[in-house]
Amino acid sequence: MMKKAFCFLKRVASSRVGNVLLILHLSLVIFDFAQKPPVPRAQSNIVHEADKPLSSSLLLAGRSFHWHYESALLKFLILVDLPGIFVSLLISVILIPLFYVLSPLGAYDESWFAAGVFLLGASIQWQFLGYWLERVIQKKNNTE
């Protein structure tokens, strides 16, 4: 059973369409986040205290995030990444013990950790979508 699962995951990871979608998504996310100025590390712990937040924005990858002020590109990426965000939530549940070990990190470092988990979930989503599209295209070509 495990051997079949690993073979399936290997096929998914080697999907060319999935790799193209993943690289395209990663490029768009990096492009959008590069346009935003980073929040200084010292200010991030003041603005985003857990017991009394002074702002309604999140801190994600060292940048301030608020849905209302984000670019249309980032809003679009978040909407198409919703399945990946749900995968990220599952990954986060598995990684909760790490938060207790790494608790003295602070808000700035935790924002990078959360961004990495979100990016991992979205990458998994795009790999599976590309694998599925590749299979559909192959089946269509085989029937013709």
Largest CA distance in the chain: 62
Measured CA to CA, the distance from residue 40 to residue 38 in angstroms comes to 6
- Domain range annotation of the chain: 20-41+56-143
Record the pTM: 0.80
Tokens of 116: 């990495």
Q: For residue 139, how far is the Cα from the chain centroid?
A: 30
Name the pLDDT band for 113 (thresholds 50, 70, 90).
confident
Question: How far apart are the C-alpha atoms of 82 and 59, rounded to whole Å?
Answer: 19
Mean pLDDT for the chain?
84
| Beta-bridge partners for 60 | 63
Task: Give the confidence band of 50 by pLDDT, cuts at 50, 70, 90.
Answer: low
The helix (run of H) or strand (run of E) holding residue 42 is helix 41-47
| Span 63-104, pLDDT tens digits | 888 888 888 999 999 999 999 999 999 888 888 787 777 666
Strand runs labelled E in the chain = 58-60, 63-65
